[in-house]
Amino acid sequence: MLRSLRELEVTKRRVLVRVDYNVPLQNGQVTDDTRLRESLPTLEYLLQHRAKIILISHLGRPNGKVVPELRLDPVAQQLENLLRRPVTKLDSCIGPEVSRAISQMKPGEIVLLENVRFYPQEEANDENFARELAQLADCYVNDAFGTAHRAHASTYGVARFLPSAAGLLLEREVTMLSKATKDPKRPFLTIVGGAKLKDKIGVLTDLIGKVDAFLIGGGVAFTLLKAQGARVGSSLVDEKMLDEARQCLEKAREHKTEIILPHDVHAVRESTAGGEQAVVPAAAIPDGWQGWDIGPKTIQIFQERVERAETIVWAGPLGKFEQPPFDTGTREVAQAIARSGAFAIIGGGDTAAALHQSDLSRAKNIHFSTGGGATLEFLGGRKLLPIEILRAD
């Protein structure tokens, strides 16, 4: 159990809240405010309790330097629009300007500190920096699930110096994901897609022996197919991962965990959607052709598996979903999940984004996880320090 925000004494107190406002920006505007919206339940709870809310987040990868385009001003602006109340944006995270502004805050007011990754001490989890952050507040709330696999000063270090708790978003994520890690209902299926096997091989390997079967699509399938000796034409292959792919297949064989690779693929001759297209066997793709989506037979096989499953975890789109019709596999498998009623977690950034706008986001059996790497590491059974530190003893 995590210590919950509801148990924390927050009324009229200064509360430092770590949020994940790592949102896409274009021309100084937030282009997708999902992450801001997801933090609203925690912020509204704190506003009801008239807390003095001090928000802290990272944005992008400034690598410990001030990068003007990565300042959080557009984020503050969009948050003001959502909350319909002022959000005071400060230009640093620590120092006299910040201390002065916070000392003048009234209950129910909101301050947003600057991009915390402008400080090299953040990613180094520097103890003095964490202590300085802790001095700004009376207590600490972590609601940044998307960053929960990074033990940094603002996600981990600071929790050692203040009474701390999980925010409502973090708490919900951990409750949902724990349903898949603790005694999941079987059959337990994991669907893996996306472009980079490097990002997914960790969770794949971690889950061998824990799940009953993997369904693999997307670009990642071709490295595994090639590792088995298949001809994959010019499809996406990560040559450096072939050895790891072989080891992963071997481990799955030892543990009798099924790995189901595509039977057929929807391929294109050139790397443009306007090029010649055909459905070809996944293990015999002609030279010069690239598999861009799972084929109809594979969709059918995946759907049949999904219909029988009780627990499903899915990370990574099954094709180049940004370019219809190569979103067909991803959409049809998602619809089968919604119909199946199985408890499903869809995570890993792009997959959730690919399906979030569709009706599926209303399917009651599907939890769209806000994390990418954090979701995968949690599901793979790894300990995430920023979450561990919030566990009630």
**In the complex, least distance from residue 235 CB atom to ligand AMP, rounded to whole angstroms:** 6
Binding to ligand AMP, residues 158-187 (CB under 6 A): none
**In the complex, least distance from residue 158 CB atom to ligand AMP, rounded to whole angstroms:** 30
* CA 388 remoteness from chain centre: 18
Say which of 14, 35, 150, 226 is annotated catalytic.
35
Count of residues making up the chain: 393
Give Dmax over CA atoms of the chain in angstroms. Answer: 69
364 in active site: no
Q: Rounded distance, CA 384 to CA 331, Å? A: 31
186 in active site: no
Of 80 and 199, the one with the shorter C-beta distance to ligand AMP is 199
35 in active site: yes
Is residue 386 a contact point for ligand AMP (CB under 6 A)?
no
Of 132 and 244, the one with the shorter C-beta distance to ligand AMP is 244
Binding to ligand AMP, residues 307-366 (CB under 6 A): 316-317, 319-322, 348, 350
End-to-end CA gap in the chain: 8
Q: Rounded distance, CA 306 to CA 338, Å? A: 10
Pairing status of strand 290-294 against strand 366-368: unpaired
Say which of 196, 246, 251, 269 is annotated catalytic.
196
Per CB under 6 A, the list member of 291, 347, 371, 386 interacting with ligand AMP is: 291
Q: Rounded distance, CA 215 to CA 193, Å? A: 9
Half-sphere exposure of 349 toward its Cβ, with a 13 Å CA cutoff? 16
**In the complex, least distance from residue 179 CB atom to ligand AMP, rounded to whole angstroms:** 23
Is residue 262 a contact point for ligand AMP (CB under 6 A)?
no
Is residue 194 a contact point for ligand AMP (CB under 6 A)?
yes
**In the complex, least distance from residue 316 CB atom to ligand AMP, rounded to whole angstroms:** 4
Of 166 and 366, the one with the shorter C-beta distance to ligand AMP is 366
Half-sphere exposure of 24 toward its Cβ, with a 13 Å CA cutoff? 6
DSSP letter at 339 equals: H
Cβ neighbors of 115 (< 8 A, separation 6 or more) are 57, 58, 59, 60, 62, 67, 70, 71, 72
Per CB under 6 A, the list member of 219, 233, 347, 371 interacting with ligand AMP is: 219
**In the complex, least distance from residue 272 CB atom to ligand AMP, rounded to whole angstroms:** 13
Partner residues linked to 56 by β-bridges? 18
Per CB under 6 A, the list member of 199, 206, 258, 310 interacting with ligand AMP is: 199
**In the complex, least distance from residue 57 CB atom to ligand AMP, rounded to whole angstroms:** 22
Buried b (16+ CB within 10 A) or exposed e, 227-245: beebebbbbbbbeebeebb
Q: Rounded distance, CA 391 to CA 393, Å? A: 6
In sequence order, which ranges of 217-327 are alpha helices (DSSP H)? 220-227, 242-255, 296-308
Per CB under 6 A, the list member of 62, 74, 146, 218 interacting with ligand AMP is: 218
**In the complex, least distance from residue 222 CB atom to ligand AMP, rounded to whole angstroms:** 7
Of 139 and 268, the one with the shorter C-beta distance to ligand AMP is 268
Piece of the chain touching ligand AMP by CB under 6 A; list 24-32, 166-174, 188-196, 359-367? 188-196
Half-sphere exposure of 276 toward its Cβ, with a 13 Å CA cutoff? 6
Look up residue 98 and give its two tokens.
């910040």
Per CB under 6 A, the list member of 10, 30, 230, 236 interacting with ligand AMP is: 236
381 in active site: no
Name the residue with the smallest CB distance to ligand AMP: 194
204's enclosing H/E stretch is helix 197-207
Q: Rounded distance, CA 132 to CA 81, Å? A: 30
Of 40 and 301, the one with the shorter C-beta distance to ligand AMP is 301
Site residues (vs ligand AMP, CB under 6 A):
193-196, 199, 218-219, 236, 291-292, 316-317, 319-322, 348, 350
List residues with catalytic annotation: 35, 196, 349, 373
